[in-house]
Amino acid sequence: MKITFILLLFFFLWKSGSASAPVMIWVEFHDKENSSYSLSRPHEFLSPRSIDRRQKQNIPFDFYDLPVSSFYIDSILTDPTLTLHYTSKWFNGAMFKANSEQSVLFIQQFSFVKYIEIAKKPISVINHEKGIQSESLLHPLSNPVLVGFSHYGSATADYGESMEQISMLNAQSLHEDGFWGQNKIIAVLDAGFRNVDTLPAYRELWDKNQILGYYDFVEAKPELFKGHSHGAYVLSVMGANQPGIFFGTAKEASFLLIRTEDAASEFKVEEYNWLAGAEFADSVGADIINSSLGYTTFDDTQQNYQYASLDGATTVTARAANMAFSRGILVINSAGNYGTQSWRYIGTPADAHGVLAIGGTDSNRIRASFSSVGPSYDGRVKPQVTAQGQGVAVINNFGSVSRANGTSFSAPLIAGMAASLWSKYPDASNTQIKQAIIRSGDRYFNPDSLYGFGIPDFQQASIILEKKIDDINFLKLINNPLKAESSITFYAYQTEEISINVFNSNGQLVWSKDSLTVYPGFNELKPFNDIDLLTGGLYLIRVNFSNKTETIKAIKF
């Protein structure tokens, strides 16, 4: 992938602006007239990998893919006090830097202007770090820098300090089979990636060209690796590689490091930065977006959201996330850390219809008190799944392992495993990957507003996707040797009644139960309450479905 392509792709990106705190003005246009681009030539504004992702998932190109009209931009820039920060194809708009709010009067005179919003204005602020989702912890260049893309194999892992958080997701089987996210690109939208360019934990990523690019949508300064640390901690959960010390969940994936969050303040401009970052990820060809960011209230209180705004399709970032998902990207976002605060609920874009929102637990699978609760305002299950978010092992600024709290770190655990899962099933769509993760949750049949569908089991998620490709045996016996509390788990594709028969080593039917109702998705049945009547020995359990029979061996003492 060449830097010249990206520069062409983002020919509307920022120019140098005033050193003083600017006013940020968001402008949307009615149409895309006077554009030199055409949907018949998508290679002019999308990378080959982005086009390939669309084609694999049968996603057509449309109006939202076309760049903004350069005529409209140039017309506005006739005011010498205005400079361009970036543009948005999806929202058909642009972010401008201005010296004062008076520039709005100049912009609104143009008939092609549809909407204007002051996204940030200079006011006295306190550093709340609201957008950053971390609870506690014990810069890209002005032009995108892109390097090669490669993939390779992996041996069995020695997880070190990351073993606990990975094993909770039953992720080892994917890793043992060599699936660590290779051939997948994860875009990390965050606040900064301090020391990622120098720490040993990331050396493999650089040496093997897995850092494909980095970009700063907050300001045009080459300080991605000298600023905030939050994105570095998040990246470590997915991409760090130090055998025997620490492994990320997708250490063979490739990454785009994208700064969208200004940790020093909180204004709606950061939501538009998120939009620009997501578009960049789409255009370059990312498969997954991990965002450990969330928005509810701002330093300018007039920009604040109410809970009613979190309906999945209203806020700037929710609409941007939905657009990214519609382009075939799997969007994963932390639910938020508002659980003990007056707000309590998830932030945005976790509420978006297209987002897989991730809550947090402790190491004992118990919900962390800070983990934001659902549902979304329109009543959907949010968060959808949970992972360890309390006491999560991360690589700190000095290159050693620390423990961190926050759904900021449960989200990348899932994002990395989603990449590993997708590596195994490259023909799956983003929807199929998302649904497989949800359906593998340990609370899939009893979701709530705290855990969602529960903690995913990535071995089961793999089985779900495998089932769609090849009809394999997927019956599992929990607690073998057989006893009263033993259960059987399986995936069903329809509501039906099944029967269970148990045969001894001589082939004789010795125990049975009929008319057991199962439902679409993962089922867990505990039918063996009277199994103690059987003597010790080897047995064959046969489950009879409407269209097939599956068997599994068991032993009883």
* pLDDT tens readout for residues 369-394: 999 999 999 889 999 999 999 999 99
CATH architecture of 159-460: 3-Layer(aba) Sandwich (3.40)
Q: Averaged over 210-229, what is the pLDDT?
A: 85
156 pLDDT more than 70? no
Fold: same for 159-460 and 476-556? no
Q: Using CA atoms, how far apart are residues 384 and 361, in angstroms rounded to an integer?
A: 13
Confidence of residue 256 (pLDDT cuts 50, 70, 90): very high
Q: Averaged over 32-41, what is the pLDDT?
A: 88
Q: Quick one: pLDDT at residue 307?
A: 93
Q: Quick one: pLDDT at residue 549?
A: 83
Q: Map out the domains of the chain as residue ranges.
A: 3-120, 159-460, 476-556
254 pLDDT more than 90? yes
468 pLDDT more than 80? no
Question: Would the pTM count as exceeding 0.85?
Answer: no
Q: How much of the chain exceeds pLDDT 70, in percent? A: 87
* pLDDT tens readout for residues 285-332: 999 999 999 999 888 889 999 999 999 999 999 999 999 999 999 999
74: Cα within 13 Å, side-chain hemisphere: 6
Confidence of residue 130 (pLDDT cuts 50, 70, 90): low
Query: What are all long-range contacts of 511-514, with beta carbons under 8 Å and residues at least 24 apart?
Result: none
**Residues 416, 418, 424, CA angle at the centre, nearest 5°?**
110
Q: Averaged over 19-47, what is the pLDDT?
A: 88
CATH architecture of 476-556: Sandwich (2.60)
Q: Using CA atoms, how far apart are residues 415 and 387, in angstroms rounded to an integer?
A: 11
Q: Quick one: pLDDT at residue 12?
A: 38
DSSP string, 230-270: HHHHHHHHHH-EETTTEE-TTTTSEEEEEE---TT---THH
* pLDDT tens readout for residues 415-459: 999 999 999 999 999 999 999 999 999 988 888 999 999 999 999
Please list, in sequence order, all residues whose beta carbon lies within 8 angstroms of the beta carbon of residue 314, skipping any fewer than 6 positions away: none
Q: Quick one: pLDDT at residue 9?
A: 38
Please list, in sequence order, all residues whose beta carbon lies within 8 angstroms of the beta carbon of residue 101, skipping any fewer than 6 positions away: 23, 25, 118, 121
Confidence of residue 221 (pLDDT cuts 50, 70, 90): low
Q: Using CA atoms, how far apart are residues 404 and 409, in angstroms rounded to an integer?
A: 8
CA 187 centroid distance within chain: 9
Determine whether 37 is exposed, middle or buried from the number of CB atoms within 10 Å of its CB (0-12, 13-18, 19+). middle
Is the separation of the CB atoms in 13 and 43 below 8 Å?
A: no
| Cross-strand pairs, 537 | 556
Q: Quick one: pLDDT at residue 521?
A: 62
